[in-house]
Amino acid sequence: MGKRGYHHGNLRQALVEAALDLIVARGPAGFTVSEAAKQAGVTPAAVYRHFDGREDMIAESARQGYAIFADVMQYAYDSGQPSALAAFEATGRAYLAFARKYPGHYIAMFESGISVNRSPELAAAAGRARDVLERAARDLSQHIPEARRPPAAMFSAHIWAMSHGVVELFARNSPGRASPFPAEDLLETGIGIYLRGLGLIGPDDGT
């Protein structure tokens, strides 16, 4: 983790990127405003022209993360069309891919303790990401008889929870939690079992 150094351009974004480096290296509670400033190559006083403090920096990192996450989820959803099943499964895989590619954002979003309701902007970004998964769930749930159809929000929450669990337990290198199976396989088979239980795929289909 090298010092980025700030010379010209967007200081606010340079500070966010410095915070993201530190979040990955030390965790969201493991660095100070002064350290973020040093990482960006500016004085601590410069930070307070853009942020109220460390938590504000983490919240902005989370907001940007949710914006990226929503785009990744939307791309996955679109790539599965016109199949509702393919679109839904793609959003589950996108969760794991995002966590691996953007670890700093992921930690700021899900492991920092920052509420998504901290600001309207953060809440809106998080809501957009959630809406993509709910839309995929709603499309797929139309193939379930109405009497057995779970609410789309519940359906998507189950997959979100499963994806999050696989990431937290097996895709983030937690000590003592090694799995003999790749995280992708765990998630794929878990979603397959869930969808079979709802009657959306047959016993010989999918994973």
- For residue 124, give the CATH number of its domain: 1.10.357.10
User: Count of domains in the chain?
Assistant: 2
Q: Convert the pLDDT of each residue in 44-88 to its tens digit.
A: 999 999 999 999 999 999 999 999 999 999 999 998 888 888 888
Q: Convert the pLDDT of each residue in 136-189 to its tens digit.
A: 888 888 888 888 888 888 888 888 888 888 888 877 655 445 667 888 888 888
User: 96 and 145 share a domain?
Assistant: yes
CATH code at position 19: 1.10.10
User: 36 and 85 share a domain?
Assistant: no
Q: Is 125 left (phi over 0), alpha (psi -120 to 50) or beta?
A: alpha
Predicted model pTM: 0.84
User: 143 and 161 share a domain?
Assistant: yes
